[in-house]
Chains A and B, each alone.
Chain A
Amino acid sequence: MKRQAGEPISFTVNGCRLYGMLRYPSTEAIHQDTGIIILNPGLTDRSGPQRLYVKLAERFAAEGYPVLRFDARGVGESDGEWEEKNEGSPIRDLFVEIQKGVWVPDARAAIDVMMSRTGVQRVILGGLCGGAITALLAGADHPRVTGLVMMGTPVTLSSATANVQDLPDEILARDANLYLKKLLSPSAWLRLLTFTTDYKTLWGVLVSRFRLRVKASSSRMSQAMNPKVNSLFLNAFEAAVSGGKRMVFVYSENDYLWHEFKEYVLPSFQITTSVPFDLVTIPHANHNITEAEWQEPLYKCLLPWLDSCSTEVSIRRR
């Protein structure tokens, strides 16, 4: 029944006090050389959606890794504030700040904390969504970072998908088909005629679907990285590849970010013989990997990956 929660810790970065939880390995320190840091997914606290981060930390610690989860500035229990308008700030704007690296200094400071507290020499950074992009931006060229676990990584800036027309083609096709099916639904017609339909989205989807058909008939997909990709993602990705970092991208199949990755990033690698990262997809899962039946395959793929990552580094060092 009892769960060893860990040791509450705090540390200061640029005048902000950050709060976290450090969990020591619950078995003999098999991976005494490597620690894992899990980074905030977005504007929610370090326990993660549905406590996913707490559960991941428990699994990783059981495998012998020390694990640090902490709240970056402006989120959870930590200091720092987002500048807010009186009527509140659109969440999308704050996500863009995260995707531009606002939490990179915090993640880098956490690496020092992990090393000084546990004695590890190597660190694996990971996270979901905002945590994934922060891991890449902070760890790509950090000499102590050996691996990156990126779950549901946004590859565009959130502002790029503010318009329906900018969504991945696969999502547009799916939504357009849904709207077409609704032509047979009396309740959908009732919503349309009583002005309760989301007309803006409906129009955006149908217009984009038409453009998609025109595009498909007149051009072939370029092999270059799609210009919609966040340039910071691209630069950090290239730095991580040239720095020999191990990377695993994990995507849930029911996450629109997976469609973005498939459409904007993967085509660039189809011409190469070796892809410089591992890729795992979780069938049926949603963005936050909410269900226990989706979390089990996540653990099953990550634990051997982490093991191979830390073992490979140990061999290299010898």
Chain B
Amino acid sequence: MFRISENSVSEEQVMFPSSSGVDLYGVVYHARDEEKGAIVICHPDGDERTWSHRILVNLARLLASHGYTVLRFDYMGQGESEGEYEQGTLSTRVNDTRSAIELLLARTHRTEVGLLGLRLGGTLAALVGTTHSAVTHLVLWEPILDLHAHLYNLLRINISFQMVMHKTVLKNREQLAEEILSGGMVSINGFYLAKEFFRESMETKLEGIFQRANGKRLIVLLPNSSFPADGDGTVLRLQFPVFWKEPKVYHSRPKTVMEETLKWITQHSTSTR
């Protein structure tokens, strides 16, 4: 059931400062052979980070083994980075992404970088991609397109929890939202939603963000996911496991999505130093 695999990628753990005011943890996966480009991976949030973590590690290794230097990092208050989860806001996550880009550009002596994000990480990649001139490529896996709806879906998790604990719903979604906006915190499987993240997310409109983002874009979606018409980006619909939720079946390398992503990056990467 277990095998020792040879990992030929050189990896380096790093702690680096974010403009959010904390040190972030990351791993640089050095390109094997001649470096073709630099890519920052943006992870999804909370529980979704937990379940997708290994897949993003394997993705980083795959890209590095095909000539890309990759930085995979943890947002403030998540994984190994400093700070508390509930202190993180949409702005701190954007700042963290920008700090990660700066680190990778400095490390590789490049002027261009690609961003690859999953779920909220995809949304953050697109948000940063609209303002950061070094971003030339975006790969977004099932990005969150509507933050308002996303937050209300998260609150549903709390309501399910109430049903398990109390056999009834003590607070509905509107009441939970009100509690957060008045300074309280609401647990989503132990990740606490706090006011600033909630408020910022509610106020951030994503219409057109995927069209406005700089550079070339690949958007990978499940067959039934909705997505607005995208100008010149590639929308690829693939069948792959929803690996950011707690699985019953273990997948460490969802083949289709990883292979198609690598193929697209290889075809479209013209990153320069």
- Give A contacts to B, CB under 8 Å: 1-6, 8-10, 14-17, 19, 21, 43-45, 47, 49-52, 54, 73-77, 79-84, 87-94, 97, 102, 284, 286, 288, 290-292
Alpha-carbon distance between A86 and B72 when the two chains are bound, in angstroms: 26
Residue from the list B14, B15, B85, B249 in contact with A87, Cβ < 8 A:
B249
Check: B251 CB closer than 8 A to any chain A CB.
yes
A interface SS class: loop
Known: A8-B13, A76-B53, A81-B2. A90 touches B249 (CB 8 A): yes
Of A3, A45, A290, the residue contacting B82 (CB under 8 A) is A3
B-chain residues with CB within 8 Å of residue A15 when the two chains form the complex: 4
Complex Cα distance, B241 from A286, in Å, reads 26
Point out the residue from A9, A49, A91, A97 that lies within 8 Å of B1, measured CB to CB: A97
- Is B192 an interface residue, CB under 8 A from the partner? yes
Please give, as numbers and ranges, the residues of chain A lying within 8 Å of B164 by CB-CB distance. 286
Report the minimum CB–CB distance from A232 to chain B (whole Å): 15
**1/0 per position for B81-112, CB-CB distance to A under 8 A?**
11111010000000000000000000000000
| Residue among B3, B79, B85, B251 facing the most chain A CB atoms (10 A cut-off) | B79
Q: CB < 8 Å: which of B13, B15, B54, B190 contacts A291?
A: B190
Count: A-B pairs, CB below 8 Å: 132
Whether the Cβ atoms of A88 and B251 lie closer than 8 Å is yes
- What are 15 inter-chain pairs, A to B, with CB distance below 8 A? A3-B22, A3-B84, A6-B80, A19-B13, A19-B27, A44-B50, A45-B53, A45-B54, A47-B78, A51-B85, A80-B2, A84-B251, A88-B241, A88-B249, A88-B251
Interface: B210 (CB within 8 A): no
Interface residues of B in 46-98 (CB under 8 A from A): 47, 50-51, 53-54, 57, 78-85, 87
- Interface bin, chain B: 35 or more
B24 nearest CB neighbor, chain A only: A5
Q: Given A5-B25, A88-B250, A290-B189: A45 and B50 within 8 A (CB)?
A: yes
B7 at interface, CB cutoff 8 A: yes
With A4-B82, A51-B78 as contacts: A82 and B1 at CB distance below 8 Å: yes
Q: Looking at the assembled complex, report how far the CB atom of A137 sits from the nearest CB atom of chain B, in whole angstroms.
A: 15
Shortest CB–CB separation between residue B32 and chain A, in angstroms? 15
Q: Are B54 and A43 touching (Cβ within 8 A)?
A: yes
Q: Which residue of A lies closest to B248 (CB)?
A: A91
Q: Decide yes or no: A91 and B250 within 8 Å by CB, A2-B22, A3-B84, A44-B50 being known contacts.
A: yes
Residues of A near B241 (CB, < 8 A) are 88
Residue among B21, B191, B250 making CB contact with A94, cutoff 8 Å:
B250
List 6 tightest A-B contacts by C-beta distance, closest first. Answer: A50-B190, A290-B190, A8-B13, A88-B249, A3-B82, A81-B5
Whether the pair B1, A73 counts as a contact (CB closer than 8 A) is no
Cβ contacts under 8 Å, A87 to chain B: 249
